[in-house]
Amino acid sequence: MTQLDHGKFSKMTTTFHTLLALDVFVLFFSGYSLMFNDELWWMVNLMGGAQGVSAVHRIAGGGLLALIVFWMLMMLTTDTGRGNFREILPSKGDFDAFIQDVQFLLGNADERHPNARQFAGGTADEIPLLTYIGKGVVFIFAIELTLLTISGILIWSKTGVMEIMATKTAAAAFVTFHGLLGVIMLMGVMFHIFEHGFHPALYPVEVKAFIPKSMIPEDHDDDTEGTGIELLELAPSWNMASTVVGAMTVIGIVSVLLGSLFDEGYPVPREIAIGGGPTDILLTVGINMGMFVLLLGLVLQMYGNLLRVRWQKQLEQEASEPTTAADGGHVESDD
Amino acid sequence: MSYREHLPETKGYPRTAIAINAVVALAVTALILWWAADFAVFYEELFRIQPVAEGANAGVGSDWTSGNQIAWLDFLIAITHAADVIMGVFILFMVFLHWGAFRRLAGRMRQPGDSDSSAVAADGGRVADDAADDDSAATDGGESR
């Protein structure tokens, strides 16, 4: 049994993913504790009040700007980057994979489509670099991050927007736009955490995002039919964990969606609405659950990196052992 | 780095490209933020009184009133709300879709501890028809029966 599906990403990509995730988590925690300050007042206090949160958000925003400029340059200036662009273009297979996933859920299909398979197992050679969800994530996050960065830069100094638009209200509108735009990404990241943390064969974290392909020995054992998932043993905690986190993900997504509809910032209301909406206990609990899912994602991604370090140490150790010599003699299991 | 001998040769990104692009990215970021910071004007130079609104709302603070009536800003916010709702519903659907698929896949795996449910793995089982759009998919969509 192995936790390691075939690694598919280069070291640059896995490192970038970790840095981007860390940065985006900080942006979420600082940004949405401002937008949902009725529900996340404790988070605002934790980061040193409104001024502290703004400072944290700007520092992380600067980091995001550097990261996406770097990524764009890498995609444009290197052969690997330009070559990989083809891999993320949507194809008919991706649409088929979506339809087949619905069929799989309904019991009308026996397997997930290769373009949907997160656990490749014995079929690793057939499956593309990214699943259809993976491609969607790349596209949606790329568009979102670009728009968020542009609107973020515009409101970096709000007086500038005020002067251009000749009204103070415009600054409020751009802040609102920036926050509402991020809600899609917020919901998407919650799904992303559930999708890659709670696949039964890969639970609790899909290590291919953290261990680069250069560190995964290739061992093609093609005599098994299908993915071979039936050979794996389900983790005892999976049932409970996936149910609890699945429920929290759903509640979190619904709550931030409702919260975003109520927490309006434009048009600026004539009267001060204390709380800015129905600040009831359910919404507070729900939004905090969503934040917990994000925190869980942060923890899981640190765990993924911990596994990478352990894996590297194990490889180094195995290589330095004299018993694993040229004859292939192993003294211990290599799973 | 002796352990690398046993690992595959993979096509990655050249180190020099990473280093150069990292430096360029930091420089571009510094320039953009320098521009964005300079974008600010001293707030006292901003309109203290700008009588752009007529009638009862004219005078101090009237720019708030007129700013509230910018149609394209209103439209921008409205369309973003709509995008949030559409994407939110879609993402929720994807959560349920994966939740259900995961439960079905989990049913095929060896159950923790014992393998008394090996029959479940072989037959593929059946899943409730309303699983796609129903919360209950989460709890009854599996095959651990």
- 3-state SS of B109-143? CECCCCCCCHHHHHHCCCCCHHHHHCCCHHHHCCC
Chosen from B44, B66, B73, B145 to mutate, greatest number of chain A CBs within 10 A? B73
Residue B78 included in any domain: yes
What are the CA-CA distances from residue B55 to residues B49, B59, B62, B65 (Å)? Answer: 15, 9, 10, 11
Residues of A in contact with B121 (CB under 8 A): 230
Segments of chain B with pLDDT less than 70: 1-10, 43-44, 46-58, 60, 114-145
Chosen from B20, B29, B136 to mutate, greatest number of chain A CBs within 10 A? B29
CB of A260 closer than 8 Å to CB of A301: no
Residues of A in contact with B137 (CB under 8 A): 105
Domains contained in chain B, number: 1
Q: Give the gap in angstroms from C-alpha B55 to the nearest C-alpha of chain A.
A: 16
Under an 8 A CB cutoff, do A316 and B2 touch?
yes
pLDDT value, residue B39: 74
Chosen from B9, B84, B85 to mutate, greatest number of chain A CBs within 10 A? B84
Q: Is the peptide bond before A267 cis (omega within 30 degrees of 0)?
A: yes
Q: Structural domain of residue B10, as residue ranges?
A: 2-140
Residue A328 included in any domain: no
ipTM topping 0.90:
no
pLDDT value, residue B68: 84
Residue A322 included in any domain: no
B9 C-beta neighbours (distance < 10 Å), count: 7
Residues of A in contact with B68 (CB under 8 A): 169, 266-268
Closest residue in B to A112 (Cα–Cα): B101
Q: Nearest CB to A177: which of B25, B76, B98?
A: B76
Q: Nearest CB to B39: which of A156, A166, A254?
A: A156
Under an 8 A CB cutoff, do B105 and A199 touch?
yes
pLDDT value, residue B103: 93
Under an 8 A CB cutoff, do A168 and B43 touch?
no
Residue A274 included in any domain: yes
Q: Which of B16, B67, B42, B125 shows the shortest CA–CA distance to A105?
A: B125
Residue B70 included in any domain: yes
Residue B145 included in any domain: no
Residue A321 included in any domain: no
Q: Give the gap in angstroms from C-alpha B56 to the nearest C-alpha of chain A.
A: 14
Q: Nearest CB to A62: which of B29, B41, B95?
A: B29
Q: Structural domain of residue A145, as residue ranges?
A: 11-84+91-316
Residue A35 included in any domain: yes
Under an 8 A CB cutoff, do B109 and A201 touch?
yes
pLDDT value, residue B119: 41
Q: Which of A199, A228, A184 shows the shortest CA–CA distance to A28?
A: A184
Under an 8 A CB cutoff, do A213 and B8 touch?
yes
Q: What is the pLDDT of residues A24-74, one digit of tens each?
A: 999 999 999 999 988 898 999 999 998 999 999 999 999 999 999 999 999
Residue B34 included in any domain: yes
Under an 8 A CB cutoff, do B43 and A191 touch?
no
Q: At what angle do helices A238-262 and A169-197 cross, to 10 degrees?
A: 170
Domains contained in chain A, number: 1
pLDDT by position in tens, chain A (length 335): 344 456 678 889 999 999 999 999 999 999 999 999 888 989 999 999 989 999 999 999 999 999 999 999 999 998 888 887 877 888 898 999 999 999 999 988 888 888 888 887 767 777 787 889 989 988 999 999 999 999 999 888 888 888 777 788 888 899 999 999 999 999 999 999 999 999 998 889 988 889 888 887 766 555 566 777 888 888 999 999 999 999 999 999 999 999 998 877 788 877 766 655 556 788 999 999 999 999 999 999 999 999 999 999 998 888 887 654 455 555 444 44
Residue B25 included in any domain: yes
Residue A279 included in any domain: yes
Q: What is the pLDDT of residues A186-215, one digit of tens each?
A: 999 999 999 999 999 888 998 888 988 888
Residue B89 included in any domain: yes
